[in-house]
Amino acid sequence: MSEHAVNGRKNGAAYFGQEVRFAREHRGLTQHQLADEARYERPYVTRVESGRLLGSEQFAEVCDRVFETSGFFVRLRERVSERGHPGWFIPYVNLERDATQILNFSPMTISGTLQTRDYATVVFRQAHPREEMEVIAARVEARLERREALRRRVHQPSLWVVLHEAALRTVTGSREVMAGQLDRLLTEAESPHVTVQVLPFAQGTPAGGLPFTLLTPEEGPTVLYTETVQLGHVDDSAAVVADAQDKYDRLRAAAMPPEDSLAFIRDVMKEYT
């Protein structure tokens, strides 16, 4: 099996699934047999092999044990989970994976971790209009995988998102895309690990005009992540982080309470349906 395959056009989940299928067939195993060995349901194996789902870290470890591939699938999964992200964004992905708390302010678009496939596709197509659809698809898969990676963690991080009203009312793609995206926000907010607040237009200019994220790891200091059009920046300076934390506290104070925010999102969603 060749690890350089992930440099091709196919998205990461499809490459991973293809290699699982090749290895399974080489071993003479059926999907049922692999599912039994891995202690997963057969439909899960089917989704992984078809590229509709990137197998979990545990699944990759089981594949290495069953196929005796000396860590190949663990390494491959790590590589393809980063595929689709620009190089400057990888430090953030790594920080997000280890964070116990994530505080995000999104003034114009829905936070990437909470985006639907349709919404993310439109966002990437608008940001990169000259890129081929295969590249856009890889970016979308990488973004969706970030959310799944957080869900798979034994101890999920606390995700707190403050959205400006503009992010809810700016039609991204179509009314149908927006309705689906707002419904996704409501579903995500049902989790005890996710809190969503809306900062209404009536509050005037927000304390932090640009998007930013504060990430707190299990060990080490909280860091601030910001980005421009083609550059991401991580800053762990105590003074800079403290200033950003102060801005975020003021944003939360100015935003509607969580329950009122969800009611507001429901009202806006009705306008799209």
Q: Are residues 151 and 260 in the same domain?
A: yes
Q: Are residues 122 and 150 in the same domain?
A: yes
Is 210:107 a contact under the CB 8 Å cutoff? yes
Q: Are residues 102 and 210 in the same domain?
A: yes
Number of domains forming the structure of the chain: 2
Of the three residues 82, 105, 137, the one that is the final residue of a domain is: 82
Q: Are residues 243 and 111 in the same domain?
A: yes
Q: pLDDT category, 83, cuts 50, 70, 90?
A: low
Q: Across the chain, what does the average pLDDT equal?
A: 87
DSSP 138-178: HHHHHHHHHHHHHHHSSSPPEEEEEEEHHHHHS--S-HHHH
CATH number at residue 111: 3.30.870
Query: What pLDDT does residue 171 have?
Result: 96
Q: Are residues 187 and 240 in the same domain?
A: yes
User: What is the pLDDT averaged over residues 70-94?
Assistant: 74
Q: Are residues 15 and 142 in the same domain?
A: no
- pLDDT, tens digit, 9 for 90 and up, residues 15-50: 889 999 999 999 999 999 999 988 888 888 998 898
Query: What pLDDT does residue 190 have?
Result: 95
Distance in angstroms (rounded) separating the CA atoms of residues 164 and 170: 10
Q: pLDDT category, 11, cuts 50, 70, 90?
A: low
Q: Are residues 144 and 168 in the same domain?
A: yes
Q: Are residues 192 and 233 in the same domain?
A: yes
CATH number at residue 65: 1.10.260.40
- pLDDT, tens digit, 9 for 90 and up, residues 186-235: 999 999 999 999 999 999 877 767 899 999 988 888 999 887 766 778 88
SS3 49: helix
User: What is the pLDDT averaged over residues 153-168?
Assistant: 93
Distance in angstroms (rounded) separating the CA atoms of residues 100 and 159: 9
What is the signed CA dihedral for 170, 175, 176, 180, rounded to 10 degrees?
A: 30
Of the three residues 26, 52, 82, the one that is the final residue of a domain is: 82
Q: pLDDT category, 137, cuts 50, 70, 90?
A: confident
Query: What pLDDT does residue 84 have?
Result: 57
DSSP H or E stretch at residue 235 = strand 232-235
Position 1 pLDDT exceeds 60: no
Q: Are residues 226 and 248 in the same domain?
A: yes
Q: Which domain holds residue 48?
A: 3-82
pTM, rounded to two decimals: 0.69
Of the three residues 82, 102, 124, the one that is the final residue of a domain is: 82
Is 235:241 a contact under the CB 8 Å cutoff? yes
